[in-house]
Structure 1
């Protein structure tokens, strides 16, 4: 005879644990937990579906999977007329789809549908205007900056959006938002030849990512610090750091980051123009 047992777990704790797993690069484990969780109320089912879509998005971004669209559709089914958070997940998914093709970054408007570019920009503006709090407004500003920067190639317009995001992240205690803003502000400082400012931004972004448990993001930041080491003449330090990033990325299953890092070791600058740009 087969016996089954049920266990009651606080949903807030379960969702937080799954989110931490997804941030750390354990996307399959996070989704496995979420997919086997059963909720009794419509409200809890909607929260569960949203958390699953978020974990899928992290898997797609860092692990190269293609899971978000189906999970977002499921979240929409659980919460018809879904809220701001699902709209933001869809925005990030659409941004990734426009930026990355066959695992390669393809920034700029060339080859992209102008209506899709105009549409994603309108969506980002709308999310910023409708955000229910300052942190979420900051996240919308962050992605508006990414869209004008990496999709519309309007580099000069992006830093103001990143600064807005940084203020919101710092004021609201959202380490991931502050980390994201600093990552891209450092990129602009680096492109402008200000290596001191780039180091300040990227070192703080690395620490914030570590505090938030974003393991693949910390590794991607370490790669940028290796870029700075090479730029300032420390080739031995750059290679040592990049070798460890490559080792970790391969073990984690962060395939795109592993490819970028091995490319760096072969002499490719991951902050350069396409196809090897690493700005997201």
Structure 2
């Protein structure tokens, strides 16, 4: 019975996580003590912080409860440090070094290599503003997504690479990448990530394009429902 209850809690929490219902997902795991449950809870609370830019302490505490030498703990610690820097939410002096070290560690593990390479690229791209170095890591992450058949990883990498492709002058290819990213997320039902992809694609379309209007409308509905702070801010800027 205990095993069945744990399985049910984990399964339900994973589904709620996908839907962006972080509060209920975390609540389902409140009494769970298995490594799998603690890692899932930490990921859920981190992602809530990432999208809402709120709940830093809860995310940090959940990550601190993990085995500090585990790959998942190192990767989530790195991601938390990166997000503090990205949004300038109580950043620590050592956050950049913490993030880079965690990504390097996770990139050495075949099970997390692709995701670690992506996050390493985002750190270089968005914090260090080193486009060339970032794209090298994105390329490794994209290759890993193809090898592993990880469509979610592919979606995430395409979204970040598309900006560079557009800046290089190939707008049509950039739009193709953004649309594929959106379609892959939609197929997986990842509601917060869907709204983010809709925002980014809408921003690249002409103001009078009907597709842009539809993207803004649907992204706004999700962002308001799930309290996606930076997605709502981005939508407001599009409407200004």
Residues 156 and 181, structure 2, Cα contact 8 Å, conserved in 1: yes
Q: Secondary structure at the match of 1:193?
A: coil
- Counterpart of 1:160 (choices 118, 136, 139) is 136
Unaligned runs of 5+ in 1: 1-5, 40-44, 104-110, 267-280
Write out per-residue CA displacement over residues 156-182 of structure 1, whole angstroms, 9 at most, x where no aligned residue. 221121121111112212222111111
Residue-pair matches, total: 238
Report 1:1-280 matches (<5 A). 9=4, 11-37=6-32, 45-66=34-55, 67-76=58-67, 81-101=68-88, 113=93, 115-129=94-108, 131-133=109-111, 136-230=112-206, 234-266=208-240
Aligned Cα root-mean-square deviation (Å) = 2.3
In the TM superposition, residue 121 of structure 1 has moved relative to its aligned partner by 2.0
Tell me if structure 2 keeps the 8 A contact 1:53–1:71: yes
Shift of 1:96: 0.5
Instruction: Summarize deviations over 1:109-134 as a string: whole Å, max 9, x none.
Output: xx984x542442233223212x143x
Q: Is the 8 A contact 1:117 1:152 kept in 2?
A: no
Contact 1:246/1:262 (8 A) holds in 2: no
Return the structure number with greater helix share: 2
Please, which runs of 5 or more residues in structure 2 have no aligned partner? none
Return the TM-score normalized by structure 1.
Answer: 0.77
Structure 1: distance between partners of 2:211 and 2:45: 35
**Contact 1:139–1:165 (Cα < 8 Å) also in 2:** yes
Q: Is residue 146–residue 158 contact of structure 1 (8 Å, CA) maintained in 2?
A: yes
**Equivalents in 2 of 1:16, 1:165: separation in Å?**
27
Once the two structures are TM-superposed, the CA of residue 139 in structure 1 deviates from its matched residue by: 0.8
Q: Which has the larger radius of gyration?
A: 1
